[in-house]
Amino acid sequence: MSSVKRAFKYRFYPSDAQAAELGRTFGCVRKVYNLALAARTGAWERQERVTYNVTSTMLTRWKKSEELAFLNEVSSVPLQQALRHLQTAFTHFFAQRAKYPRFKSRKKSRRSAEYTRSAFGFRDGRLTLAKMAEPLDIVWSRPLPEGAEPSTVTVSQDSAGRWFVAMLCEDPTVQPLPATDAAIGIDVGLYHLLTLSTGEKIANPRHGRRDHGRLARAQRSLSRKARGDGANRRKARRRVAKIHARIADCRRDSLHKLTTRLVRENQTIVIEDLSVCNMVKQRSLARAISDAAWAEFRSLLEYKAAWYGREVIAVDRFFPSSKLCSCCGTLQTKMLLHARTWTCNCGTTHDRDVNAAKNLLAAGRAVSACGADVRPQRRTPDGQSATKQEVSRREP
């Protein structure tokens, strides 16, 4: 297995001159991206084709114009990278993996710039970007892999005003873990974040709820400030952003620890293929579902499993894991959402979430062994077998 490329992210504290230079670079990157997107959108309407090479030629003309001469004041590499990112966005759009690219907003879009190897210097743990005389003051919270050389560097500033630098390096330490026979099914929830097929339940930290009072007060303070670019409104907006950043950091930290543990302990991990973007449309549960971060949990689990030679299986979201008896295979015709335990006709009393996790594990093993459309045999309470189509019709 070849070395895995990992991004190592660190916080840094720029000088006033460096902050000003990066601010100009962020603005120029956004300007070039929007100009190229406008040009490609116009060509799309005229049924003309504009590729990355064409927009690169446009960038050269824009730099020579009097109106856009300020583009020459920053490094040209982040501007070229912005055009490559736009090309990638269109590639995903034409492959129907994403929506049509949107224009970058000065207030809402992520402030970032990407530098390739020709636009930065890295020596003896000191990183110097193009157009800067002094290296960045980086807080090395963890070391880079021994002998690692960054191939790209991405500098960003979040809404809370914190500066970060992400270095993309090859990490030879990431190798497949020893194979094991352990397999586990995972049912996600709100009261318990995860319920495992072993019967273990992992509590939901509810990071958003813990800071809900502080966030509400900060947002009320922001709403009282006059709209515009006033200093008081900027300070209030920054306070709100810092609380959101704290919540996101705590949530991400707990998910990283949890997914790393699951990947290390199990060879096969079975989850449910939930459509989270549709579930958050239910207003009564949207806040709780967003705080649980099920989509982020799955994303972390999948890429770590790929790194360490594990397998993640996503079972069809219409599989009736909660209503199916894991002992006899009887399918309950109806089950209320608030019912956390239920008793099957065979006399087995089930914990709803543990039973669902066991059924997901059984379905995942069948998928792994026989194919994506295989499901465990299910029987209705009257003893009749039920096909996949029949089960789908019975589900609410």
Q: Which of 54-58, 282-286, 324-328, 390-394 has the lowest mean pLDDT?
A: 390-394
Average of pLDDT values for 357-366?
A: 86
Q: Is the pLDDT of residue 366 over 70?
A: yes
**Phi/psi-derived region of residue 322, left when phi > 0, alpha when psi is between -120 and 50, beta in every other case:** alpha
Helix, strand or coil, per DSSP, at residue 118: helix
Two structure tokens written together for 119: 């636009």
Per-residue pLDDT of 146-178, as tens digits, reads: 888 899 999 999 999 999 999 999 988 888 999
Domain boundaries, the chain: 4-171, 183-314, 316-394
Q: Is the pLDDT of residue 385 over 60?
A: no
Per-residue pLDDT of 2-43, as tens digits, reads: 678 999 999 999 999 999 999 999 999 999 999 999 999 999
Average of pLDDT values for 258-273?
A: 92
Looking at residue 17, its pLDDT comes to 94
Per-residue pLDDT of 95-138, as tens digits, reads: 999 999 999 998 889 999 999 999 999 998 899 999 999 999 99
Q: Is 382 a catalytic residue?
A: no
> Residue 120 carries which side chain, given as an amino acid letter?
F
Of 379, 388, 372, nearest to 273 by C-alpha is 372
Average of pLDDT values for 339-365?
A: 82
Looking at residue 2, its pLDDT comes to 64
CB 5 within 8 A of CB 173: no
List, in order, residues 6 or more apart from 148 with CB less than 8 Å away: 169, 170, 171
Two structure tokens written together for 159: 């809404």
Q: Which of 61-65, 66-70, 244-248, 339-343 has the lowest mean pLDDT?
A: 339-343
Looking at residue 1, its pLDDT comes to 52
- 272 to 38, 160, 311, 375: CA distances (angstroms): 40, 34, 14, 13
Residue with tokens 């497949």: 176
Residue with tokens 């956390």: 340
Q: Is the pLDDT of residue 220 over 90?
A: yes
Point out which residues pair with 114 in neighbouring strands: 154
Q: Mean pLDDT score of the chain, rounded to an integer?
A: 87
Which one of 21, 114, 272, 291 is the catalytic residue?
272
> Residue 388 carries which side chain, given as an amino acid letter?
K
What sign results for the dihedral spanned by CA atoms 169, 84, 155, 129?
A: positive
Q: Is the pLDDT of residue 263 over 80?
A: yes
Which one of 351, 353, 373, 395 is the catalytic residue?
353
Instruction: Return the half-sphere exposure (C-beta side, CA atoms, 13 A cut-off) of residue 154.
Output: 16
Looking at residue 367, its pLDDT comes to 74
What sign results for the dihedral spanned by CA atoms 19, 21, 22, 24?
A: positive
Say if strands 311-315 and 268-272 run parallel, antiparallel, or are unpaired: parallel
Q: Is 66 a catalytic residue?
A: no
Quote the CA–CA distance of 66 and 60 in Å, as a whole number: 12
Q: Is 187 a catalytic residue?
A: yes
Two structure tokens written together for 268: 């096969």
Which one of 21, 114, 187, 291 is the catalytic residue?
187
71 band by pLDDT with thresholds 50, 70 and 90? very high
DSSP code of residue 103: P
Q: Is the pLDDT of residue 376 over 50?
A: no
Average of pLDDT values for 233-258?
A: 94
Quote the CA–CA distance of 310 and 287 in Å, as a whole number: 32
CB count in 10 Å sphere of residue 117: 13
Helix, strand or coil, per DSSP, at residue 120: strand
Instruction: Return the half-sphere exposure (C-beta side, CA atoms, 13 A cut-off) of residue 150.
Output: 28
Q: Is the pLDDT of residue 186 over 50?
A: yes
